[in-house]
Amino acid sequence: MEPRFEQFIRERQNLTNVTPATVEWYRRCLSWLPSESPAQADLKNLVLRMRQKCLKETGVNTVIRCANAYLHWNGGSERKCGPGCTHPRIAQLKEPRLVLPTFTEQQVDRLISWKPTGKYQRRLHVLILFLLDTGCRISEAIGLNVSEIDFDNLLITLDGERRKQRVVPISFELRKARFRYCKENGRKPEAQLFASRTGANWNRRNILRDAKLLCRKLGFDAPTRTLHSFRHTFAVNYLRRGGSVFHLQKVLGHSTLEMTRPAAASLHEGLEEYFTIDRLGVPPILQRCLATTDIIESPHAGVRIRTRRVTNWQNGTMARRWMASALLRTEKKFRRIMGYKELWALERF
Ligand SMILES: [Zn+2]
């Protein structure tokens, strides 16, 4: 690495006290820069190079953010970076705004009511309950010690990003599950709550694999970014039940409200449906059912479960035959939906 880069990182380490993770990030980002003092044309080239390597907009922007910090520092100005700066700089790309992947209510129900057997399944179950209940990051859950849980007041202390600690509430239900788990495994107060079988950090990849397998076992495909979508699910449900965005920001440990916005925005999509159903003017019980359950999901899941062992689909006729028989089988298990007595109200549409 160029000596000027090293100097930048050293100064950041000692003067602004950045975390080791940030230092690692600086190293990765600065390695994209072609030289110590690049010209504006080099920088344009840099963005093109990153796009060719198929980096996503968000990934490119993190590199740009770091490069701009370095370029400002390299310019030797003491002031904060702003419009008055004359050093070369890179403009950020527009990032697409995507709806956050979340678990549906039905999927969450299934995860919660899953009956684990053996201590490793129980560990996974408690972790999932933990993520759904507190909305914390997976890294925060892995690093948690047993002593950081205040049983009497139902509070836990989390070590968030940027060395910021925060205290979040837990539910009574989670306390029960967690207590049973700790007792069964003989976890001491100074031990990590979720550890591997040797007592080391539980590997993130292994958790991801187990969580995905579990979802498939319970009859649905895990949403993308599976472990993080527990956090999304928590956030969206919190807002849906009437929690305020400001409290949500505190609980999630976001430093700015801007970071919490995607959760509120994705809720908006759901709200739209709420309003449509509201306009239909159907009885409340049926309204609740239509707004919260995706009725077609159930037959889909049924077909998925009943055809999952087929590995060789020979032709379309075979696929149709299997699907038809799977649907007929699934039909036998159908139950009446909530508010079925009021279904007549839909007739006039
Ligand atoms: Zn500047």
Q: 87 CA distance to ligand 1 centroid (A)? A: 6
What's the 256 CA to ligand 1 centre distance in angstroms? 22
How many angstroms separate the alpha carbon of residue 9 from the centre of ligand 1? 17
d(CA 173, CA 93) in angstroms, rounded, equals 44
Q: Ligand 1 centre from 18 Cα, in Å?
A: 19
Average pLDDT over residues 88-98: 81
Q: Are 85 and 75 in contact (CB under 8 A)?
A: yes
For ligand 1, the distance from its centroid to the CA atom of residue 70, given in whole angstroms, is 9
Q: Return the pLDDT at 111.
A: 92
Q: Which one has a higher pLDDT value, 64 or 150?
A: 64
Region of poorest pLDDT, from 121-125, 276-280, 301-305 = 276-280
At residue 211 the predicted structure's pLDDT band, cuts being 50, 70 and 90, is: very high
Distance 259 CA to ligand 1 centre (A): 24
Distance 39 CA to ligand 1 centre (A): 14
- Of the listed ranges 19-23, 148-152, 210-214, 313-317, the least confidently predicted one is 148-152
Share of the chain above pLDDT 70, in %: 90
| Average pLDDT score, the chain | 83
CA distance 227 to 232: 9
Helices (H), the chain: 3-11, 20-30, 40-52, 57-74, 105-113, 118-134, 138-142, 172-185, 204-217, 226-240, 245-252, 261-280, 284-292, 297-307, 316-332
- Rounded to an integer, what distance in angstroms lies between the CA atom of residue 99 and that of residue 269? 8
**How far is the centre of ligand 1, averaged over its atoms, from the C-alpha of 84 (Å)?**
7
36, burial (CB in 10 Å: exposed 0-12, middle 13-18, buried 19+): middle
Which has the closest alpha carbon to 130: 217, 227, 225, 47? 227
The more confidently predicted of residues 255 and 217 is 217
CA of 38 to the centre of ligand 1 (A): 14
Q: How far is CA 219 from CA 93, 208, 303, in A?
A: 39, 17, 10
pLDDT digits (tens, 9 = 90+) for 22-69: 899 999 899 888 888 888 888 888 888 888 888 888 889 989 999 998
What is the rounded CA–CA span in Å between residue 7 and residue 22?
15
Question: 54 alpha carbon to ligand 1 midpoint, in Å?
Answer: 28
The percentage of residues in the chain with a pLDDT greater than 90, rounded to a whole number, is: 13
Rounded CA separation 3/223 (Å): 44
Statement: residue 195 has pLDDT above 70? yes
* φ and ψ of 198, to 5 deg: -95, 0
In the reported structure, the alpha carbon of residue 91 is separated from the centroid of ligand 1 by a whole-number distance in angstroms of 12
Phi, psi of 309 (to 5 degrees): -90, 0
For residue 334, the CA-to-ligand 1 centroid distance in Å is 64
**In angstroms, what is the span from residue 278 Cα to ligand 1's centroid?**
51
* DSSP track, 296-333: THHHHHHHHHHHTT------HHHHHHHHHHHHHHHHHT
pTM passes above 0.75? no
pLDDT of 232-267, one tens digit each?
A: 888 888 877 777 777 777 888 877 666 777 776 666
pLDDT of 215 over the 90 cut: yes
| Nearest alpha carbon to residue 37 among 8, 11, 79 | 8
Residue 145: closest CA among 134, 130, 156, 135: 156
Q: How many angstroms is it from 63 CA to the middle of ligand 1?
A: 16
Look at residue 292 in the predicted model and tell me its pLDDT: 66
The span from the CA of 300 to the CA of 133, in Å, is: 28
Task: Look at residue 289 in the predicted model and tell me its pLDDT.
Answer: 77
Give the pLDDT confidence score for residue 254 in this predicted structure: 79
Domains belonging to the chain, first-starting first, are: 3-74 (no CATH), 105-255 (1.10.443.10), 281-346 (no CATH)
36 CA to centre of ligand 1 in angstroms = 16
Residue 83 C-alpha to ligand 1 middle, in angstroms? 8
161-188 tens-digit pLDDT: 767 788 888 888 888 887 788 777 777 7
Measured in angstroms, how far is the CA atom of residue 111 from the centroid of ligand 1? 49
* C-alpha of residue 260 to centroid of ligand 1, in Å: 27
- At 269, the pLDDT band (50, 70, 90 cuts) reads low
Residue 85 CA to ligand 1 center (angstroms) comes to 5
For residue 175 the two structure tokens come to 């306390």
